[in-house]
Structure 1
Amino acid sequence: MEIMDIQQQKSEWKRKRWSIPELRGSKQEWYEIVRELVERIANNAVDMNTTPDLKVTSSVYPWRNYAPFLKGIGVAANKAGLLTITDAGVKFIESPNKRYIADLLHDKYRIFGEILYLLQSEPKTIEDIDELLCREYSLDWANLSNTRRRTDWLEVLGMIEAVGNRKWGLTDEGKKAIQDWPLVSSDVVDHTEENNQDIQITPAPTEIEELLKKLVDNPALHKKRNTYNIWIPSPNRIENLRTIVQYASEKVTRSDLFEFIENEFQLKTSSVESMMPFLKADGLIEEVGKSIYVSTSAAKAWCETGNDLDLLRIMHANKRFVGEMILAAKDDTTRNEVYAEGSKYGMNTEKSRWVMGLLIEAGILEETQYLHVKATGLGKAFAASLPMMSADNVLPENPTTEIENNVDNTPSKNDEKIQLFDALSNSARDPMAEGKASGVAFEENIAAMFRLMGFDAIRIGGAGNTDVVVKWKDNTGKTVTAVVDGKSKSGGTVTHTDISDVAIETHKEKNGADYVAIVGPGFGGDTIKNFARKKGFSLVTDKELIDIALSAKELGLSLDEIALLFKVPNGIPALEELINAQKRQLEIISLVVKTFKQEQEAMDSLSARDLYFLLRGTEISPSLEELINAFELLATDEIGVLNLIKKASPTENTTYAMQNEVQRVNKLRAIASAIECGIE
């Protein structure tokens, strides 16, 4: 029965969340997976780093992958890193039934039961439902994914059923639910502006409150908040970060901590090296002895509460543009506008993107449409509780040591590269973009992207042909070929039914290709991903391609390195790890040069070991091996910024002096410019 009182409807709307978390596994198995998972935690709380042994499915994931959904519907809670059952979970186990899960989903998430109301008059297709929802509830959903996830659950839980012609109608249980559930009418949305005062924010623990109080008592401390890079293993970054902090709750050696993180998340040592400066700079882990680490008291308090807001409070106290980003996205705003605001705080686009990802994961920001974000009601209330920094008060110098890009983070739209990026994104979601035949603009833009990165790429297209052929020479001089299939989808999601493996295999054989990639705006569901993995097809989104192109230029990646994106199954993660490692290498080089500049006058010459002790307490905290590598690189004849003074054994004791650094930089820049002129 629909709620008639407007205030009650507004309260219902504000109380609920937007995004239903993903549940791993086949749709047909969802209900049984939930039932078995809840049964397991009913017996004993489980460590989210472990993996359950499920009888209902052969595809099993760690508990941390299931946790967001179980917590989202309220049947489980996180207590100090352990997943425990709630009263709602106990009630479900006492009498397991699909209707109860449907009740929970409707109680927790917006526009769930309301879909049933739309189907009351007549059956409709998913597209019809999505169009009605967007029109009636003033939604800017860029694709069908939000609607489809809701209808998938309604189908699984027996609320709707297929009635033919791709249409869905109500079941008897669905009709009954309409009578039982309080529904929010579309009329209320037009004048529902979330009032921050209606949302209760859980107070911060004492240890975290003290961090924020320092900013209140001494606003000058805002200027000391860092702008260092963030890197956390995905997916479920907040849960993964909590796992790491929880492991270090007692003192742990550097080697043991590294081994744990490497094994837990299948990372290389270089990736963990890249993560450590962030963990220290953002107040999560501290070094309390030589190579001895422990979680900070604030981080331990966060693990105790299990509240994502407490993590964000710690980060806000230590890093710029965390809470301030919420204010920047108070109203519906493009990502680029938020990134531009972040640059005023010394945060480049990549750093702001990481902060934004965590805010979205915590429910502080929401994606209103493609490339648009907006603060949620929770986000606005949370922002009101934080001491904020004005961009006008930012010091001109950056408080952290990092490599600075010469590229403007908010370039003009006239920039050809940015125009290409925009064209790629637009044509990925508009098959008829630029007034051309279906998919042509997208295919042309894909080819242009690969040419931008240095590949030989040409659009072929047409019936019986691949869309794009990409060629390059590997390190041995052998020509390598890849075929690329572009999938422009107005709905924003490519599914397995959009791909013909027979056609792609034919294209691969016809062009003598070594690799196959499919580029699209997004790829929905496990089916297409499993299919592509089995066939050896790499799935690349337009956003990933843009990010790779940016990193390729910034870091000077080789074609062989960029070509990792074609490799299956771990090519793109390997490329991301490589990019991260190279960025860290540049940061270490910058730090080494800066330290030489500061210390050489007093010490004449320095060794890698000298710098190791000087830099142990910095945010980057390079290892001895990393410093030796940086010294040797800077001392090569080609670069020549460092001059070997006294060779020693072991190598870490070899001393160097810095000389003619400005002239060497000018020389390198002149050579680079000459090469650029030759290839233009």
Structure 2
Amino acid sequence: LVRLLHVRFLGIGELLVQLDDQPRSVGEIHSRQFAASSDAPRQGRTAGILRYLSGAGAVAAIGYARYVLTGLGRALIRELPIAEVTMVTTGDEDTSVPVALDAPRVEQLIAELETASRDSANPDRFEKACAEAFVALGVESKHLGGPGRTDVIVTVKSGLTLVARAIVDAKSASGQLNEGSVNFAALKEHAAKHGATLMAVIAPRFDGSGRLSDWAKPNGVVLLSVADLAGLLRAHETHPFSARDVAELLTVDGRDDVEARHSQAMEQLSLITGVLRELAAEASQDNPEPIAARDIRRVMSRAGSVTTDDEVSHVLRFLALPEVAAVQNEPGGRYTLPSSPSIAAKRLRAIARAIEASSFGA
């Protein structure tokens, strides 16, 4: 079935290229697949394809909605004709999914993390990069470093409330980190000294035997590889984590719940794209008419989308807010496009700029 679907549809076997031995969430795989696309499908489509690939044995599910590539998957990559996904939008309407405005800066930071993590002769460089990574995730971060000191202190606040404080040990190495490289007693001493309740170790990668992971968990220490941190930075650019999300990411067993919420948020963003696309399609007809949420849901369902009338209605009500004005509410609970969706996008960007200006006192 996977072979037949691949022949017929773009983006089936191509998903395999986005996976490796590192467990990745549906949202991360979807973002990697369509990073260069201006007309990406909904994330639900990617989730469905991954279930097919899992059933075929090409990928394996690890934990909650996270996948790794299998030996069969690697063989399929070599066998199937894999295309580069470069889907483009036709016409003047801006129907693309949201993209990261700061993507180049984030990619530069990720490149520095990857390089600095292997520069074991200059540990201070990796420590500073890790501190900068947490600033990019929207929380306070301070680099300390030096003998007998923790490398990075992360302070997570939500409004006026201190949510959590974490100490971060940045371990640069030419290879993987094994169980003898982490001093859990020292980490606990640093945490107590700084009033931190959370602890994390960041390294290029960790011992594949799982022993270090088995020891870290009961000691309350979160292990983050550079690939893990890079994935979080990219996910934060597509839909930002809240302060409490970041605290949960630094909590043992907290990551799966955060990634599940992030996937739901990406589904919501994709739903907005789909709703606007259907309204734009109706507006392009010879005799366009206002359409209801149920009509939009039916058309989207025929295209493979899994959604409900209530979910579509919720999106339409949001888009009809005066501050957004992306759609216009007509009599009888029906909707039309008052103007190009790009105008609504510009309104939202103007609001975003106003919020950012107030955040920095500008």
Q: TM-score range by the shorter chain?
A: 0.7 to 0.9
Question: Secondary structure of 2:217's partner?
Answer: helix
Which structure is higher in RCO with an 8 Å CA cutoff and minimum separation 6?
A: 2
Q: CA deviation at 1:230?
A: 5.9
Q: CA deviation at 1:236?
A: 11
Cα distance per residue 1:47-105 (max 9 Å; x no partner): xxxxxxxxxxxxxxxxxxxxxxxxxxxxxxxxxxxxxxxxxxxxxxxxxxxxxxxxxxx
Cα distance per residue 1:583-641 (max 9 Å; x no partner): 21111100101111222575643332222212111133323343233223323344232
Q: CA deviation at 1:235?
A: 9.0
Instruction: Indicate how the Cα distance of structure 1 residues 230 and 364 shifts in structure 2: closer, same or farther if over 3 A, else same.
Output: closer
Partner of residue 349, structure 2: 669
Instruction: Indicate how the Cα distance of structure 1 residues 595 and 489 shifts in structure 2: closer, same or farther if over 3 A, else same.
Output: same
Partner of residue 185, structure 2: 502
Matched AA of 2:277? K
The answer as to 2:297 corresponding to 1:588 is: no
Matches within 5 A, 1:224-235: 225-226=10-11
8 Å contact from structure 2 (residues 191, 197) kept in 1: yes
Cα distance per residue 1:325-353 (max 9 Å; x no partner): xxxxxxxxxxxxxxxxxxxxxxxxxxxxx
Matches within 5 A, 1:387-466: 388=81, 396-397=88-89, 403-406=96-99, 415-432=104-121, 436=122, 439-466=123-150
The two structures have a TM-score, normalised by structure 1, of 0.42
State how far apart, in whole Å, the 1-side matches of 2:47 and 2:108 are.
Answer: 36
Cα distance per residue 1:98-129 (max 9 Å; x no partner): xxxxxxxxxxxxxxxxxxxxxxxxxxxxxxxx
Q: CA deviation at 1:674?
A: 4.3
Match of 2:312 among 622, 627, 630: 627
The answer as to 2:237 corresponding to 1:553 is: yes
Matches within 5 A, 1:96-495: 225-226=10-11, 277-278=45-46, 284=52, 308=58, 358=69, 361-362=70-71, 365=74, 382-383=78-79, 386=80, 388=81, 396-397=88-89, 403-406=96-99, 415-432=104-121, 436=122, 439-474=123-158, 477-478=161-162, 480-492=164-176, 494-495=177-178
Structure exhibiting the larger radius of gyration computed from Cα positions:
1
Partner of residue 27, structure 2: none
Q: How many residues align?
A: 328
Question: Secondary structure of 1:469's partner?
Answer: strand
State how far apart, in whole Å, the 2-side matches of 1:395 and 1:422 are.
Answer: 26
Partner of residue 248, structure 1: none
Question: Secondary structure of 1:620's partner?
Answer: coil
Cα distance per residue 1:247-267 (max 9 Å; x no partner): xxxxxxxxxxxxxxxxxxxxx
Cα distance per residue 1:292-337 (max 9 Å; x no partner): xxxxxxx9xx97xx775xx9xxxxxxxxxxxxxxxxxxxxxxxxxx
Question: Secondary structure of 1:470's partner?
Answer: strand
Instruction: Indicate how the Cα distance of structure 1 residues 609 and 489 shifts in structure 2: closer, same or farther if over 3 A, else same.
Output: same
Question: Secondary structure of 1:420's partner?
Answer: helix
State how far apart, in whole Å, the 2-side matches of 1:557 and 1:307 are.
Answer: 32
8 Å contact from structure 1 (residues 508, 516) kept in 2: yes
Cα distance per residue 1:225-257 (max 9 Å; x no partner): 2479969999999xxxxxxxxxxxxxxxxxxxx
State how far apart, in whole Å, the 1-side matches of 2:113 and 2:317 are.
Answer: 41
Cα RMSD after superposing both structures? 4.1
8 Å contact from structure 1 (residues 424, 445) kept in 2: yes
The answer as to 2:292 corresponding to 1:607 is: yes
Match of 2:280 among 558, 581, 597: 597
Instruction: Indicate how the Cα distance of structure 1 residues 444 and 629 shifts in structure 2: closer, same or farther if over 3 A, else same.
Output: same
Instruction: Indicate how the Cα distance of structure 1 residues 656 and 430 shifts in structure 2: closer, same or farther if over 3 A, else same.
Output: same
Matched AA of 2:272? I
Structure 2: any 5+ residue segments left out of the alignment? 24-41, 60-65
Matched AA of 1:459? H
The two structures have a TM-score, normalised by structure 2, of 0.74
Structure 1: any 5+ residue segments left out of the alignment? 1-206, 216-220, 238-273, 285-298, 312-353, 366-377, 648-653
Partner of residue 34, structure 1: none
